[in-house]
Amino acid sequence: MTVSAHRKVVTVLFCDVVGSTALGESVDPEALQELLARYFERMSAIVESHGGLVEKFIGDAVMAVFGVPVAHEDDALRACRAAVEMRDALPELRLEGRIGVNTGEVLAGTAERLATGDAVNVAARLEQTAEPGEVLIGAETLGLVGATVGVGEERLLELRGKSESVSAYPLCAVLEMPERSHKMRFVGREREMQQLADVWDRALSGPRCELVTIVGDPGVGKSRLVAEALRRIGARVVRGRCLSYGEGITYWSVVEVVKQLDAVPSDQQAAAAIRSLLRESDVTAGTDEIAWAFRKLLEEQAPLVVCFDDIQWGEETFLELVESTALLSTRGPLLLLCMARPELLDRRPSWPVTLRLEPLREEEAGELVGDTVPEDIRRRIVRASGGNPLFLTEMLALASESAEVEVPANLRALLAARLDQLDRAERAVLERGAVEGELFHRGTIQALIPEEIEVTPRLAALVRKELVRPDRPQLPREDAYRFRHLLIRDAAYEALPKATRAELHRRFAGWLEIHGEELVELDEILGYHLEQAARYLDELGRPDPEVALAAGDRLAAAGRRALAREDDRAAAHLIERALALTQPLVLDVHLELDLALAHGGDPRKALSISNTTIERAAAAGDATGEALARVAAAVHAEELGLAGPGELEVLVQAVLPRLEEAEDHRGLGVAWGALAYGVANVRGQWGQMAQASEKAIRHSRLLGVQRNFALGAGLVNGPTPADEALLRMDGLAAEFPPPIWLLCRAWLLAMLERFNEAWPLAHEQTERLRELSGGRSQFGQWFLGEIAILAGDQEDAARRLRILCADMEEHEAFAQLSTYAPWLGRVLWGLAEYEEADALADKGRELGDPQDATTQMLWRQVKALVRGSAGQHQEAGRLAREAVAIADGTDGLRFQGDAYSDLAEVLEAAGRRDEAVAAWSEALDRYEHKGIIPLARRVRERLATLQETRI
C-alpha cells in the first residue's frame, strides 16, 4: 500500500536470532535456509496479525512498524503483544532471539522507507542490548501502554549514538486489566453553573465588574461549561481568544471583542485610543491608554459578558488589561469570563481563579457516552477517558465510525487514529487549515491546495465528522472554520513533514499579505508564519536567507510598533525573535538598540545589549553603528551612575555628522533623544532639551514614528515664556497624546494665572493618568501640587506632594524621589514644619546624582531655609548661594527665580535687607521673563514691603 509522507508517532519492533553464526556451522545449509524461511514467515504473520507491517529483513533480523499506514490508538500495545507472541514462538522453531520495541515520532510513508527517524535507531539498539529470550521496551512505549503490561526493573543503557542514557524495561507480560462498568452524557457541572449564575447576579446588582477564571486541563470541558452557563444566563456575550502562536500579539483577543461590539467610546480621547488599536488612525496609543479606553467601551456597552479563551497564551500586557478592567470598572454590570489551562498559574501564581474544573466523575462520564455504542466499548471508553470530556467525545466519535476500533491509550494516539481514518483529500484540507491556526479560512485551503476543486464539500465533510465547525471570519469575503478542539489542530499540523510545513507557512504568508490587509496585527502574524518557515528550513539544513530576513522585517515592524505604544515586554519579545532570524545574516544596529530601549526598565540589561552591539558593529567594520551604539550604552550607563552627561555629549557630537551625512533618521532620533534626556535634562538646560527633542521628533516623523521626547517638560521648565510655550503646545496637541502633555499645559495655564482652566484640566488628566496606569501612577499629584503652589495653597500642595513621595518610596523610585523629596521639604518649610523639611533635604542629598542640577540645588535651598530659620545665618547663606550658582548654570527661569527667592528669605532672616532686596529683584526678573504671574506678583509685594520698611 502506498501512503503519503507524514510525521507521526509509531512503534518500531526489531527481532533478531541469537547465535545465527554458530547455527550455520552446525546445520545443513538447506535445512538452515528452510528454518530461517519458517522463522521469517512466522514472525511476519505475528506482526501482521496485530496490525503491524514488516518493513524489511536485515540478515536474521525482522523490522516491523505499528502505526503505518494507518495509526491505531493502541499501536504501542499491539507491538508489545506481538513482541511477547514472537518471543514465545521462537522456542517452537528451535531458535533463540531477542527483541527491542520503541515508540517515537518518525517520518512515515516515504517512497524508500515505512519509517525514518531516531525511534527506529533506538529500537534497533534495544534489540541488540536485550538478553537472549528477552524483550526490551523503551520508556515512551511504556508510557503509552501503562498498566496493561508487566515489566521488570528499569535499566539505564548507554547506547551508541545517544548522548544521554536511555531507559529500557524488560517486558514480562501483557496483562488483562479488569474493566469497570458505569452509566453514561453533557451532565453534571451544576455547582459550577450555579456559581457562574451567582457571579452574574452580583455584577447586575452592583453594578460592578466581576472577573471569573476557569482553569482546567485541555479537553476537560471549560468551553462546554461556559456555553451551557451563558445559555442559562441569557446575557449579551462577546468573545476573544489568545493565539497559541506569535508571542507578542498582545491585543488580538481585545480587537476581536471590539470588532464584535462595533462601537467606540463616547469619550473622544478614548475613541481615539480604540481607533489607534484598530489601526484606523496614525496616532499611537500607549498600553495604559488602550486599557483605559477598553474599560470605557465595555462600561458603555454594559450589561455585557466578555469571554476570553486560552488566556494562558496571553501577553503580560493583555493579562494586566484584564486585571485592571476588573478592578477599575464600576459603571455598569460586566462579567469577564476567562478560560485557561493550568500553565497560566505557572506564569501568574497569584492570578484569581474562581473555578478549577476537574474531570467528570465516572458516573457522569458514563452518562455522557450514552448507549450509542456497544456496552463493552462504552466501558472501555469510560475507563480510558479519566473523566476528560474531550477524550470521551473523541473516542465516541471514533467508535461510531468503526466497529473495530480499540480504546486509545492517550489522546495523541486517539487523534492520530481519527486523522488516519480520513480520506486523503479531507486530511489534506484539514492539514492546510492547521497551518493557519485554530481558526482558518476557506481561501487559505484553496491557496495551499490549488489543485483541489472541491474545497467546500471537503470542509462540509469535516464539519459533519465534527472535526471543525463554521466560525466568524477574520477576513472579508471569506468563510471561516475553527477546529473543534485545538488538539485536533495540533495533531493535524504535527503530522506534516517539516519540509512541507515550511513551504505551506511561506505560501500562506504570501496569500495573507494580499488578503489580510485589514488585520490589525498583520505584521505579527506574517512574521510568525515566515519565522516558522525559516526555522523549519534551518532545522532541515536548507536555510533560506530571504525567508529569514522577510520574517525578521515583519517581526521588527511589529516590535517597533509595540515600543511606540510603550508595550515594552511585547516589543522586547518581538524584536528578540526578529534578531534571532537576522543576526546571523546582517548587522542591524538600530534594531539591536531598539531591543535595548525595550529593556529600558532594566538599565543593566539594556547596557549589556548595547555593549554587545558595540562589539558586533566593530567586528563588522561599521564605525558609525559602533559610535551610535556607544551613545546608547552611555545613556544606560548614566542611568546606573556609571557615566556622566559630559561623556555622553562627546559621544553624541562625534556621531551626529556621520548620521546626518548618511541621512540616518532613526540614528539621528536616537542621538538627539540622548542629548535631550541624558545631557540637557541632567544639566538643567531645558531649552536645549526642548530643541533636541524637536529635532528627535522631526527625524522620528520621517520614519512614521510618534514620540515626544519630553518636549512638554522642556517647554514648561525652560526659558520659553509661558504664554509662548502654551501656544507651541496647543499647536502640537494633535500629535502628542494626553495625559502628560495636557498636564504640562495645565501647569502653563496656572503660570499665567488662568486657574479656572488649569484646575479642571489637571484634575481630569490626573484621574486619566491614574486610570491608564491601572491605579498605579500618582505622578499627576506632582502637577496638582505645582498648581497649588502657584495658587498659594501650601497645605494642598504639601498634601499632594506627600502622596507622590510616599508612592515613590513604596515603589523604590529613588532617582525621582531624590528630587521630589526636597521639593516637598521646601513647601513644608513654608508651613513651618522645619524638622521634616530638613529630613527631606537630607534624603535628596543622599539619593541624588551629583550631576543632577535640579536635585543638587533643591536640597541646598531647603537646608538654607531651615538653617536660616534656626538662626544659623552664615551656613544658610553659604548653602543658598551654592543653590543660586547651580540654578544660574541652568536655563530654568522658574528654578532660578526660586533659588533667588530662597536666598532673599535667608538674607532677610539675617537682617541683610539691601542684599535681600537685590535677591528679590533677581527673582522677579526671572519670574517676569518666564511669565509666571502669581509668583511675580508675590515678589513685588515683598519688595514693596521692604521698601516701606526702609522709609
pLDDT value, residue 891: 94
DSSP class of residue 871 equals T
Q: Is 57 helix (H, G, I), strand (E, B) or coil?
A: strand
pLDDT tens digit sequence for 324-338:
999 988 889 999 999
In this predicted structure, the answer to whether residue 888 has a pLDDT above a threshold of 70 is yes
Higher model confidence: residue 483 or residue 565? Answer: 483
pLDDT value, residue 878: 96
Higher model confidence: residue 851 or residue 179? Answer: 851
Higher model confidence: residue 34 or residue 41? Answer: 41
pLDDT value, residue 758: 96
In this predicted structure, the answer to whether residue 846 has a pLDDT above a threshold of 90 is yes
Cα dihedral sign, 56-58-61-67: negative
In this predicted structure, the answer to whether residue 641 has a pLDDT above a threshold of 80 is no
Taking alpha carbons only, the member of 635, 552, 565 closest to residue 593 is 635
Task: Give the residue-averaged pLDDT of 901-926.
Answer: 95
Taking alpha carbons only, the member of 866, 768, 776, 854 closest to residue 818 is 854
Cα dihedral sign, 593-598-600-604: negative
In this predicted structure, the answer to whether residue 181 has a pLDDT above a threshold of 70 is no
> Which of 67-81, 383-397, 652-666, 933-947 has the least mean pLDDT?
383-397
- Close Cβ partners of 424 (under 8 Å, ≥ 6 residues apart): 4
Q: Which residues of 706-737 are buried (b: 16+ CB within 10 A; e: fewer)?
A: bbbbbbbbbbbbbbbbbeebbebbeebeeebb
Task: Give the residue-averaged pLDDT of 795-807.
Answer: 94
Task: Give the residue-averaged pLDDT of 400-427.
Answer: 69
What CA–CA distance (Å, rounded) separates 270 from 90?
A: 79
What is the share, in percent, of the chain residues with pLDDT greater than 90? 54
Higher model confidence: residue 858 or residue 184? Answer: 858
Task: Give the residue-averaged pLDDT of 482-504.
Answer: 87
pLDDT value, residue 370: 77
How many residues are present in the chain?
951
pLDDT value, residue 25: 54
In this predicted structure, the answer to whether residue 184 has a pLDDT above a threshold of 60 is no
pLDDT tens digit sequence for 511-521:
999 998 888 89
Task: Give the residue-averaged pLDDT of 910-924.
Answer: 94
Highest mean pLDDT pick, 5-14, 237-246, 864-873 = 864-873
pLDDT tens digit sequence for 927-948:
999 999 999 999 999 999 887 7
Question: Mean pLDDT of all residues in the chain?
Answer: 87
Task: Give the residue-averaged pLDDT of 781-786.
Answer: 94
- Close Cβ partners of 718 (under 8 Å, ≥ 6 residues apart): 685, 686, 687, 688, 689, 690, 725, 891, 892, 893
In this predicted structure, the answer to whether residue 777 has a pLDDT above a threshold of 60 is yes
What CA–CA distance (Å, rounded) separates 101 from 618?
A: 54
Residues paired with residue 387 on neighbouring β-strands, in sequence order: none
Cα dihedral sign, 424-426-428-430: negative
**Radius of gyration of the CA atoms of the chain, in A:** 37
Higher model confidence: residue 306 or residue 242? Answer: 306
DSSP class of residue 171 equals E
Task: Give the residue-averaged pLDDT of 68-91.
Answer: 88
Put simply, whether the predicted model's pTM sits higher than 0.85 gets the answer no
Q: How many CA atoms lie within 13 A of 161 on its CB side?
A: 10
pLDDT value, residue 559: 92
Confidence label for 3 from pLDDT (cuts 50, 70 and 90): very low
- Give the rounded distance of the alpha carbon of 81 from its chain centre: 47
> Which of 348-357, 368-377, 571-580 has the least mean pLDDT?
368-377
In this predicted structure, the answer to whether residue 288 has a pLDDT above a threshold of 50 is yes
Confidence label for 148 from pLDDT (cuts 50, 70 and 90): confident
pLDDT value, residue 108: 79
In this predicted structure, the answer to whether residue 269 has a pLDDT above a threshold of 80 is yes
Q: Which residues of 139-175 are buried (b: 16+ CB within 10 A; e: fewer)?
A: ebbbebbeebbebeeeeebebeeeeeebebbbbeebe
Q: Quick check: bond before 739 cis, omega within 30?
A: yes
In this predicted structure, the answer to whether residue 502 has a pLDDT above a threshold of 70 is yes
